[in-house]
Chain A
Amino acid sequence: MRINCPLCGPRDRREFHYYGAEDFLHRPAEGAAPEAWDNHLHQRDNPAGITKDLWYHETGCSSWLLITRNTVTHEIHSAELVADRKVPTP
């Protein structure tokens, strides 16, 4: 399995650390209901197929990546820098 890091190019899977589903990016606002935190930390869609999850280029450029990939075939479709995402300002 190789991941095409936007900064470093295609690199071996061993350079990356898997963190978890995209849900980790959607941190609830301070004071949000416990259910919001439960969804953020614990509950998952866990699809068999296309998913988006967070990986850290640990022994490369130290970027956080949002990766679109297939959990059944292990195919990697795209990798984008989390830092480049346009987060809507509340």
Chain B
Amino acid sequence: MRYSGLKVITQGLFGNKGWTPAWRNPAPKADYDAIIIGGGGHGLATAFYLAKNHGLTNIAVLEKSHIGSGNIGRNTTIVRANYFLPGNSEFYSHSLKLWEGMEAELNYNVMHSQRGLINLFHSDGQRDAFVRRGNAMINQGDDAILLDRDGVREHLPYLDFEQTRFPIYGGLLHPRGGSARHDAVAWGYARGADQRGVDLIQNCEVTGIDVENGVVRGVQTTRGAIRAKKVGIIVAGRSSQVAAMAGMRLPIESHILQAFVTEGLKPVINHVVSFGMGHFYISQSDKGGLVFGGDLDFYASYASRGNLPMVEHVMEAGMTLMPMIGRAKVLRSWGGIMDMTPDGSPIIDKTHIDGLFIDAGWNYGGFKAVPASGWCMAHLMATGESHEVARRFKLNRFATGHLLDEEGTGAQHNLH
């Protein structure tokens, strides 16, 4: 069914009885051309582009829980292309362009809102670094505007500019940055893939990967064995466990990242604001809730909930930056398991096993990457070659020394 404004009106007039499920609920077949392990944003986008760009439709996405149950439904939805290093810069630039066409491409309202992202700076040295980053963004063809303190004041009059710890010197505005509705992105890609013949198989956990003489043959699942010529591991925080099924050890450590949302309020925060020095960022959802978060809890963890010290730290940083939010009541907090790499950049690559591919290591920045990751992983699985904007996301780059350490924090998984 094609969605449109007219459909919404006519369905509304007739009691909304004509809507049909957005995707089928098929039983797994015995054999596929390709299997995607993981029905998160990246897995679904990969399936969609395998079908759409490469005409591969005999594909299954195997999801151990339900579509949208992982990080794709837990993130704070910032979409941006403000990367700096060659390798990251062109990839996220490509991704943002795909975001800009996503709703038309999927015929799905993902509520992508380019409301502008402002990264604050608090010293002369940080200003220099932001000028450099802004220039890199402009060279890549994306947009960046340096704001001085008065410039920031025009956009964000409610900040505490004179706070003693980190007085605000200015900010880097990325006008095309913004946010989107996370679940809708999963649902939109799921529906688009299903319409092109992809089987989305939920409640189907992969428990083993079958390899014979260095060639992948298929997977074992809680719903039986399924054969496939190609298999893609796209399971975010669970990457190490699934890769271990094929005897692989990954450059990944899983960490917990928390997020928070308040009760719905009238519009008060129009941008996405990030306060790096305080490890705090915030935006307001279309429903009115203030959505905010901070840094990792900092120790390796698979608990989908965080600890109190980070809750306290995030609240303190928020109150330092914008005391007005102190009156809002926090409704919920939650955590997601992040696949942290030692350089903070992702992996989209083949493995040493023929036909087995991996897309992982998204750290806490994988939401904005969903369309380009799907695009490039599909390209890799279909053609066997890395897509040109993802050619540096190699699995062995840590051994060869070709790291992509965007923040320059060194080889420690939790520092990125």
Contacts and interface: CB of A to CB of B under 8 A. Distances in A.
A51 B411 contact: no
Interface string A1-24: 100000000001110001111000
A34 B302 contact: no
Nearest to A16: B299
B342 interface: yes
A46 B253 contact: yes
A14 B310 CA distance: 9
Nearest to A46: B240
Contacts of A46: 240, 250, 252-254, 300
Given A41-B411, A48-B241, A1 B307 contact: yes
Interface size class of B (residues with CB under 8 A): 20 to 34
A72 B307 CA distance: 13
A53 interface: yes
B387 interface: no
A58 to B, nearest CB: 12
Nearest to B241: A48
A40 B241 CA distance: 19
Contacts, number: 73
A43 B251 contact: yes
Interface in A23-71: 34-35, 38-39, 41-48, 51, 53, 55, 71
Contacts of B252: 44, 46
Contacts of B342: 41-42
B413 to A, nearest CB: 7
A43 B250 contact: yes
Residue among B241, B253, B309 facing the most chain A CB atoms (10 A cut-off): B253
A72 B249 contact: no
Nearest to B243: A46
B249 A45 contact: yes
Contact of B413 (A1, A20, A45, A72): A20
A71 B250 contact: no
A77 interface: no
Interface in B210-250: 238, 240-241, 249-250
A21 B298 contact: no
Contacts of B298: 18
Given A13-B307, A41-B342, A18 B399 contact: no
A59 B301 CA distance: 23
A71 B301 contact: yes
Interface in B393-416: 398-401, 411-414
Nearest to A18: B299
B71 to A, nearest CB: 15
Contacts of B411: 41-42
Residue among A13, A21, A55 facing the most chain B CB atoms (10 A cut-off): A13
Contact of A19 (B240, B249, B412): B412
Contacts of A89: none
B303 interface: yes
A42 B254 CA distance: 13
Nearest to B296: A18
B302 A72 contact: yes
Contact of A13 (B254, B309, B401): B309
8 contacts: A18-B298, A18-B300, A35-B399, A42-B342, A42-B411, A44-B240, A72-B302, A72-B303
Given A14-B309, A21-B253, A42-B411, 11 more contacts: A13-B307, A38-B398, A44-B253, A45-B240, A48-B238, A51-B300, A53-B299, A71-B254, A72-B302, A74-B303, A74-B307
A-B pairs, 5 with minimum CB distance: A46-B240, A42-B398, A42-B251, A38-B399, A18-B299
